[in-house]
Structure 1
Amino acid sequence: FHAAAAPPPPLVLLPRSPSPSKRYFPIPLDSLEEEYRIRSADDGKLFREDGLCTCGFYFSSHENWASREHNREKNRYPNILPYDHSRVVLSHLDGHLCSDYINASYIDGYKEKNKFIAAQGPKPETVADFWQMIWEQKTATIVMLTNLKERKEEKCYQYWPEKGCWMYGNVRVAMEDATVLVDYTIRKFCIQYVTPRLVTQLHFTSWPDFGVPFTPIGMLKFLKKVKRSIHPTAGVGRTGTFIVIDSMIDMMHMDQRVDVFGFVSRIREQRCQLIQTDMQYSFIYQALLEYYLYGDTELDVCSLEGHLQRLHNTRAPHDRLGLEEEFRKLTNVRIMKENMRTGNLPANMKKNRVLQIIPYDFNRVILSVKRGQEFTDYINASFIDGYRQKDYFIATQGPLSHTVEDFWRMVWEWRCHSIVTLTELKEREQEKCFQYWPSEGSATFGDYTVELTGDTLCETFTLKDMVLTYRPEKQSQHVRHFHFHGWPEIGIPAEGRGMIDIIAAVQRQQQQSGNRPIIVHCSAGAGRTGTFIALSTILERVKAEGLLDVFQTVKSLRMQRPHMVQTVEQYDFCYRVVQDFVDIYSDYANFK
Structure 2
Amino acid sequence: MSDYTGDHYRPILMSSMNEQNFSGYINAVFINSNCQDDAFVVTQLPLKKTLSDFWSLVWDYKCTLVVLMHDPQDVSELNAQFWPEKGVIRHGGFSIKKISKATMAGYRETTLCIKHTDESQQTSLEVKLWQLKIWPKNETVPQSPSVFIGLIGMMEKHQQQQESDCHVLVTCCDGASRSGLFCAGAIVCDQIRSEGCLDVSQAVRSLKKRRIQLIPNKDQYTFCYTLAQSYLDSFETYGNFKH
Same fold (TM over 0.5): yes
Give yes or no for the alignment of 1:393 onto 2:43. Answer: no
CA distance in 1, matches of 2:21, 2:93: 18
| Partner residue, 1:417 | 64
| Partner residue, 2:83 | 437
| Partner residue, 2:224 | 574
Check conservation: 2:29, 2:211, Cα contact below 8 A: yes
One-letter amino acid matched to 2:143: A
Check conservation: 1:527, 1:570, Cα contact below 8 A: no
| Partner residue, 1:476 | 124
| Partner residue, 2:161 | 512
Q: 1:462 aligns with which of 103, 108, 118?
A: 108
Check conservation: 1:465, 1:478, Cα contact below 8 A: yes
Q: Which runs of 4+ in 1 moved over 6 A?
A: none
Alignment of 1:27-176 (within 5 A): none
Give yes or no for the alignment of 1:532 onto 2:190. Answer: no
Check conservation: 1:521, 1:529, Cα contact below 8 A: yes
| Partner residue, 1:39 | none
What's the Cα RMSD here? 2.0
CA distance in 1, matches of 2:182, 2:149: 10
Deviation at 1:550, TM superposition (A): 0.6
Check conservation: 1:425, 1:434, Cα contact below 8 A: no
One-letter amino acid matched to 1:436: F
Deviation at 1:475, TM superposition (A): 2.4
Deviation at 1:587, TM superposition (A): 5.6
CA distance in 2, matches of 1:450, 1:438: 7
CA distance in 1, matches of 2:69, 2:198: 23
The more displaced of 541-550 and 370-379 is: 370-379
Deviation at 1:441, TM superposition (A): 1.9
Deviation at 1:376, TM superposition (A): 2.2
Q: 1:490 aligns with which of 138, 151, 163?
A: 138
One-letter amino acid matched to 1:580: S
Deviation at 1:425, TM superposition (A): 5.7
CA distance in 2, matches of 1:531, 1:410: 21
Deviations 1:437-478 (A, max 9, x none): 111122111211111112110010011111111111342111
Q: 1:448 aligns with which of 94, 117, 137?
A: 94
| Partner residue, 1:503 | 152
Give yes or no for the alignment of 1:559 onto 2:205. Answer: no
| Partner residue, 2:241 | none
| Partner residue, 2:4 | 358
| Partner residue, 1:376 | 23
Check conservation: 1:461, 1:485, Cα contact below 8 A: yes
CA distance in 1, matches of 2:237, 2:126: 33
CA distance in 1, matches of 2:42, 2:236: 30
Flag the structure with larger Rg. Answer: 1
Deviation at 1:514, TM superposition (A): 2.5
One-letter amino acid matched to 1:566: P
CA distance in 2, matches of 1:461, 1:514: 24
Q: 1:545 aligns with which of 195, 202, 221?
A: 195
CA distance in 1, matches of 2:102, 2:221: 30
Deviation at 1:391, TM superposition (A): 0.6
Q: What is the TM-score of this pair, normalised by structure 1?
A: 0.38
Check conservation: 1:456, 1:464, Cα contact below 8 A: yes
> How many correspondences in the alignment?
233
CA distance in 2, matches of 1:529, 1:428: 15
Change (3 A) 1:428 1:392: closer
One-letter amino acid matched to 1:471: T
**More relative contact order, 1 or 2 (CA 8 Å, 6+ apart):** 2
Change (3 A) 1:378 1:581: same
Q: What is the TM-score of this pair, normalised by structure 2?
A: 0.89
Deviations 1:225-279 (A, max 9, x none): xxxxxxxxxxxxxxxxxxxxxxxxxxxxxxxxxxxxxxxxxxxxxxxxxxxxxxx
